[in-house]
Amino acid sequence: MRKTDQGFTLLEMVIVVSIIAVLFLLTVPNIQKVLSVVNEKGCDAQIKVVDSAILQYRLEYDENPGSLSDLINAGYLSAAQSTCKDGRNIVISNGQASAG
């Protein structure tokens, strides 16, 4: 009777690891692109929140807020809502919010 060893050879392991590495290298750029799009869309959504707060402020005080601090002091926004997650500050000009 002959005893046969069960397992993988070094060549088989190198091939499998190479295939996994190639798949990983193909997916990393797509993941980074998706994260960039998510940050951009998140900032757009944050600007819409600030625009809504501006509208609420305008309805209550009959004037546009001069800055984000007016909205924060009036309780329409929190301090964390004054910046986008990607680090851009939100500013108010002519009664509209924009990322600067």
Q: Is 78 helix (H, G, I), strand (E, B) or coil?
A: coil
CB 53 within 8 A of CB 77: yes
Q: Give yes or no for residue 87 having a pLDDT over 80.
A: yes
Residues 56-74 pLDDT 10s:
999 999 999 988 899 999 9
pLDDT confidence of 12, banded at 50, 70, 90? very high
Q: Is 91 helix (H, G, I), strand (E, B) or coil?
A: strand
CA distances from 27 to 17, 23, 30, 92 (A): 15, 6, 5, 39
Statement: the pTM of the whole predicted model exceeds 0.75: no
Q: For the chain, what are the domain ranges?
A: 32-99
Residue 77 burial by Cβ neighbours in a 10 Å radius (0-12, 13-18, 19+)? buried
